[in-house]
Amino acid sequence: FFFRMSTARAARFAAWEAERATWRLANRGDTRYALERRVFRKQLRDMRRSLKEEDLLARRAAHVAARASERERTETPEGLRAAEERAAAQDEVRGALGAAANALQATLAHPTLGFWADSSYASASLASLLRHEPNLEAIAVRLRRMLSLSPTPRPLRSNEAMRRLRHWLRSLKMDAPEAPPVAEMQSWSILTPVYKETVLYSMADLEEESNDGRSFIEVLRGLHRDEWANFAQRLGESPSALSVARCASEPRLALQLRLWASMRGQTLARTVYGMMYYESALAFLVAVEAGSAGGGPAPPLPAASQTAAASALAQRKVGYVCACQVYGDYKRAGDPRAVDIEALMHAFPSLRVAYVERRGGGGGG
11-55 per-position pLDDT tens digit = 777 776 766 665 554 445 556 666 677 777 777 888 888 888 888
Distance of CA 60 to the CA centre of its chain: 47
The pLDDT of residue 171: 84
Under the banding of pLDDT at 50, 70 and 90, the label for residue 237 is confident
User: What integer is the mean pLDDT of 190-214?
Assistant: 88
As a whole number of angstroms, the distance between CA 199 and CA 189 comes to 21
Paired with 353 in beta bridges are 322
What count of residues does the chain have?
365
User: Is the predicted pLDDT of residue 151 greater than 80, yes or no?
Assistant: no
**By the 8 A CB rule, do 208 and 202 touch?**
no
Crossing angle (nearest 10°) for helices 225-235 and 251-262: 150
Under the banding of pLDDT at 50, 70 and 90, the label for residue 134 is low
As a whole number of angstroms, the distance between CA 205 and CA 187 comes to 38
Torsion sign across C-alpha atoms 222, 223, 226, 228: negative
**By the 8 A CB rule, do 234 and 226 touch?**
no
**By the 8 A CB rule, do 200 and 259 touch?**
yes
- Closest alpha carbon to 316 in 187, 226, 196: 187
Spell 254-263 as b/e; 16+ CB within 10 A means b. beebbbbbbb
pTM above 0.85, yes or no: no
Side-chain half-sphere CA neighbours of 9 within 13 A: 6
Under the banding of pLDDT at 50, 70 and 90, the label for residue 250 is confident
**By the 8 A CB rule, do 206 and 216 touch?**
yes
The pLDDT of residue 299: 42
Rg of the chain, C-alpha, whole Å: 40
Under the banding of pLDDT at 50, 70 and 90, the label for residue 2 is very low
Cβ count near 28 (within 10 Å):
10
Q: What angle do CA 242, 247, 251 make, to 5 degrees?
A: 155
Q: Which residue has the higher pLDDT, 268 or 211?
A: 268
Secondary structure string (H, E, C) spanning the chain: CHHHHHHHHHHHHHHHHHHHHHHCCCCCCCCHHHHHHHHHHHHHHHHHHHHHHHHHHHHHHHHHHHHHHHHHHHCCHHHHHHHHHHHHHHHHHHHHHHHHHHHHHHHHHCCCCCCCCCHHHHHHHHHHHHHHCCHHHHHHHHHHHHHCCCCCCCCCCCHHHHHHHHHHHHHCCCCCCCCCCHHHCCCEEEEEEECCCCCCCCHHHHHCECCCCCEHHHHHHHHCHHHHHHHHHHHCCCCCCCCHHHHHCCHHHHHHHHHHHHCCCCCHHHHHHHHHHHHHHHHHHHHHHHHCHHHCCCCCCCHHHHHHHHHHHHHHHEEEEEEECCHHHHHHHCCHHHHHHHHHHHHCCCCEEECCCECCCCCEC
Crossing angle (nearest 10°) for helices 77-109 and 32-74: 90
